[in-house]
Structures are given as C-alpha cells and as structure tokens.
Structure 1
C-alpha cells in the first residue's frame, strides 16, 4: 500500500520544486549562522575562559563543522531537486536522491546528539568559569597573566568579582607580603580575623563614567578613608557592583540556546524537504510511466517500486485504465532506411513514367507507316493502360 499519495500536475511539481529551493536556501542561511557563531565564540569568548578554553574550542569547532556541512548539503540539494523534476527517468536520479536523503538524516541525527551534550556543557562552562575566576583572584598579585586577564575582563564587561564586588573583600587575595598585618590601619579595616579580608578591590572594578575619584582602596586613599565608614553608598556608586559570571556565561548560553533552536528548525525543514522531494520525484517518474511527462500523476512518500517493494496499488489502480494512444503518441518507425527506399522507389517510378512518355512521343513523331487500324488501336490502348498504372 502506498503511503502519502498525492496527485500532482506539472505546475504542482514545479511549485513544489520552488518550495524545496527556498527551504534549501533557508537551511544554508542557518548553517552560515551556526558556523559564524562558532567561529566568534572560539575567537572572542573562549579566550576569557582560562582553564576550559580547549574544551570550549573543541565543542564549538564541532558545531562549526556541522554548520559547514549543512551549507554543502543544501548546495547539492539544488542539483538533486533539478534532477528529480527534469530527469526522473534516470536511475542515477533515484540513487542520488536516496544518498542525499541518507546523508541529511545522518547530519540531523548528529546535530541532535550535539545539542544534547551542549545542554550539559552549559552547567559545566558556568562551573568552569567560576573556578577559573576564583583561581585568578587568588593569583591576582602573584601572576601577571592572571592580573592582565582579570583586569581586561572586568574593565571591558564593566563587572567586578564573580557574583559581586564583595567577592574581592571576602577573598584572601592580599597576603602578609602585600600589606603589613601589624599596622593599625590594617587592623582597623580588617573584616575577618581568620583570613586577611580587606575592603580593597582592583582598579578595573571602577566605573568609567563616575564623575569623582574612584573609591576602591582605602589603604591607598587615606584622605577619603572616612567615606568607607560614613558614606558607604558613595563607595558603591564609584565601582561596578555586578559580578562577571552572568556576563560571561550569558554570551555562551545565548549561542548554545540559539544553536539548539537552529537544530530544531533544521530537523523540521529537513523532514519537510525529504517528504516533498519524495512526492515530487515519484510524481515526475510516474508521469513518464504514463507516457506523458506533463500529465497529472500520483506521487508518494513510499509505494510500489521503492526499495524493491512490489506490493500496493499500481498506477492503473490509482489513475484508472490508461487512455488509448493517439496517432501522435504512436511509436514512429526508424526513417533512415525507409526514406532511402522510398526515395529509390519514387525515382524508379519517375524514370518509368519519363521513359513511357518518351516512347509515346517517339511513336507519335515517327513516319507514317501502313499499319492495320485494329493493331494501332490495340497498341495505343496497351500503352495508355501501362502509363496509368505507372502514374498510380
């Protein structure tokens, strides 16, 4: 039994081909977005993630490769669609459509698997960024690379700390090698007795547009030290209070969520393209089997003649008995030899007629002889009969 039978005219098949062309173009645009976002993430975002940069690069390199795969897949789809409409009678068209459909199904399945792991990668990336930032805060004054990375990150994203600026105040990033723990000022501003926690944050946490001096270090700004006690709101207004974790993960999460949505769209479009290409191809093929490539013919998703399947309805069952062939549709014999023979036959007849007419003229122009009347009449009648027979 045929599945998904639709009767299509030549105009319907051309319209279906136009829709398939449009869907292939749309999927190519999606593939370009996938490849472009993957490249941007590898170049601009992953360098910020110090410890997990290689893993993030690998994940988005895979997504970029599959985006390129989508582009190539649907460039070939233009050729497949053309052959399905114009060259449905060829065996190569059937094989090409089958191979193209299998590659598309494999590509879509791989995209779904990648999206499943990207969802897990989101939590892993958030945890990795948090651990990397905490490690960088600890080594902020010990490692020049970490200091430059965190300063650039906080300054460019206008953020401070992991969750807020208080992470710097609660973190023991200042040690006894950086400050004199026996100093009265240090004892005054020391927040905790267990760790060396002070209300000091890096300069990169300062707001760019703050009209006054940034109040980020009471140890180095003793003339404004009373503000930390009397007007703490002014201190907060001079620095960025939001953390950097949300800003960093938001960009990557947007790309991952967008990639998942694009994969779902690719899956839907690929399914529609497969179904429509099958119906269009089988309708064009069946139209040729009905002895008229422009007639209305049934197309189906799966039916008789597909993959060796011999059951189900035949074309006669679906369309009814075939109409009788007209004279124009009758097969024409080979004309090369027959034309040559016909030409020889006509030439021979013309020669015989010319010879007979010449004989008659000779007889009429010959000198008068004494011939019996019955013999002359009989000869003339025989010649006239022969002339009529040759002309016929």
Structure 2
C-alpha cells in the first residue's frame, strides 16, 4: 500500500527541488549548530569533572557531536541531489545511492531525537554523580599537597562563589569533614588536641565553613567559624537568624544549572530534528517523482511521488532483512567453527 501519494507537475517538481536545496543548506547550518551545542555541553561537563563521580552524562554531548557531524554530510549530499534533480539526465546516477542514504539519514535523525530524550532522562544520573563527586571534593579539600588534588581547594572555592552555594546538600556538610589541613594546625594548642582526641577517627572537626561560603550581599561581616555557638558572636541566633553564608547546597545548584542548559539545548535540537525530518520527507517525494521519469524522454510530464511504496512495517523489514541475514550468517559460521573445534578436540 502506497503511503502519501501526490502528483507532481513539472513546475511543482522544479519548485520542490529549489525549495529543498535551500532547506538542505539551512539544515546543514543547523547540523553545525548541533555540533557546537554538543561541544558547549561537553566543555561545561568537563569543567566540573572533579565534582562528578562518573562520565555517563557525557553520552548526551557525545551523541550531539556525532549527530551534528553526520547532519553536515547528510544535508550536503541532499543539496547535491537537489541540484541534479533539475536535470533529468543527471539524476539517475544517484539511484543506487539513495536507498542506503535514506537508511543512514533516518538512523541519525532518530539518534538526534534520542539525544533530546536522554537529556531529560539523565537527571537522576546527574544527581547521583554530583552527590558522590561533591562529597569526595569536600573530603579532599584540604589535600593541597597531594598530587592530583593540588587544585581541589581552588576549584571548590570557585564553584561555591560562582554558583552561590555551600557544601553538598547544605553548609552542614563541612561540619562532618576535616577541611583544614594539619599543616595549619597548632598541635601544641590544648583546644586542637582536645578536638582531635574527641573524634573517633582523630580528625579536627569544626562547626565552620570555608570563606567561599560567605554571602557578600549580607549586611553583616561573614561568620565562618563557630556557626552553632550563639555566645561566640554578638547579637546572633543560630536557629532563628538567617545566616550570612549561602544556604543552598552545591548539588542542587549544579543540577539546576546543567538541567537548564540541557533543556535549552534540547529545545534547539528538537527544532533541528523537525527541520531534518522535513528535508528527508521532501527529498523522498522528489526522489520518487523523479524516478517516475525513467525511460521517458519527455521530462516535463506530470509524475507521482510518494513517501513509502509499501506500508511502514513492510518498509522497515525491507531495510532490516539484509542486516538480520548478515548477523544470522555470522552466527551460523561461528557455530560451525565451534562444532568443528569440538570434534577436533574430542578423542578418537
């Protein structure tokens, strides 16, 4: 059953080819845009690699980069096909090329849609990655002399100031780790000795936060230390007063930032997907309308174009059959080699 059959007079075919040529170059620019968006997202994720536990989230920018590059090639060839469609004598040279071209184009177009879906679905993975990564980042904050962690303190401080956040979930996360290096502690001081002895792991824990947690918009000078001790500061109430440090955790801030970035990119990629789909549909109509001219000397006659020669299921199976036969043949060869190896290894 033919799907979406349309009639194309000569003038309509010419307009379709000309319009499609413009559309294909617009899609080429859109492909370059997709590639650029993927690079931007990957760069931002790499900037925060030290506070991320895994790289699963990189599948989204990697997919966008691959799809963007493929879109450049796909739409470049689409523009060349449109040019040759204006000359009925030159169009037949594309005949054997178009079937694999449409298969590859549809694959990458669907992949573009999957990248959009993945960008929304990766929020859970992003949260868990940041949760573990930030926890480790805070734990290694003091290790400025350890190779591989020399810039950990600098990165954490810059991140907290840039995103106006403090800690992983909130500022209390700093109370649970020793974030002051031993090299800056006076072990002859009784207070330091008592704090270390009072801790099972022998760590120097304080109810304070690094300077990067301070909120510069607060009218009060920053209180970094003894945040839970009301008597340590004048006119201060830890429970009732809004502290002059950032109250939002960095995990929440980073998740909101990256999801906002990915949502914006996804909206752009979705519009590019619709543009790419329009190019493929229009090119399919042009192909079938031009193929109807085969063997006809009069190139100005009216022809019929269609989207699919058969039903959707039959068309999908037509493209999948060669792939399935290839893997079936490959499995049969492997099974035959395994049986031959078993018979050779068995005793006579």
TM value normalised by structure 2: 0.69
Return the alpha-carbon distance in structure 2 between the equivalents of residues 110 and 200 of structure 1: 48
Name the CA shift for 1:85/1:254 in 2 (closer, same or farther; >3 Å): farther
Offset at residue 206 of structure 1 (A): 1.4
Name the CA shift for 1:64/1:228 in 2 (closer, same or farther; >3 Å): farther
2:315 is matched with which residue? none
Return the alpha-carbon distance in structure 2 between the equivalents of residues 179 and 290 of structure 1: 92
Offset at residue 202 of structure 1 (A): 0.3
Name the CA shift for 1:237/1:290 in 2 (closer, same or farther; >3 Å): same
Name the CA shift for 1:186/1:54 in 2 (closer, same or farther; >3 Å): closer
1:133 is matched with which residue? 134
Name the CA shift for 1:44/1:261 in 2 (closer, same or farther; >3 Å): closer
Aligned length: 299
2:28 is matched with which residue? 28
Q: Determine if the alignment matches structure 1 residue 17 to structure 2 residue 17.
A: yes
Q: Does the 8 Å CA contact 2:140/2:152 hold for their aligned counterparts?
A: yes
Q: Determine if the alignment matches structure 1 residue 283 to structure 2 residue 314.
A: no
**Which 5+ residue runs of structure 1 have no aligned equivalent?**
305-392
> What aligned pairs does 1:221-370 form with structure 2 within 5 A after superposition?
226-227=232-233, 230-232=236-238, 236-258=242-264, 260-261=266-267, 264-286=270-292, 291-303=297-309
Offset at residue 67 of structure 1 (A): 1.3
Give the structure with higher Rg (CA). 1
Q: Does the 8 Å CA contact 1:88/1:94 hold for their aligned counterparts?
A: no
1:383 is matched with which residue? none
2:213 is matched with which residue? 205
**Which 5+ residue runs of structure 2 have no aligned equivalent?**
145-149, 311-348
Return the alpha-carbon distance in structure 2 between the equivalents of residues 188 and 241 of structure 1: 29
1:123 is matched with which residue? 124
Offset at residue 87 of structure 1 (A): 3.1
Return the alpha-carbon distance in structure 2 between the equivalents of residues 13 and 108 of structure 1: 25
Name the CA shift for 1:178/1:228 in 2 (closer, same or farther; >3 Å): farther
Choose between structure 1 and 2 for higher RCO, CA contacts under 8 A separated by at least 6 residues: 2
TM value normalised by structure 1: 0.62
User: Is the deviation greater in 109-118 or in 35-44?
Assistant: 109-118
Q: Does the 8 Å CA contact 1:84/1:277 hold for their aligned counterparts?
A: no
Return the alpha-carbon distance in structure 1 between the equivalents of residues 143 and 308 of structure 2: 69
Name the CA shift for 1:268/1:284 in 2 (closer, same or farther; >3 Å): same
RMSD between aligned residues: 4.0
Q: Does the 8 Å CA contact 1:88/1:285 hold for their aligned counterparts?
A: no
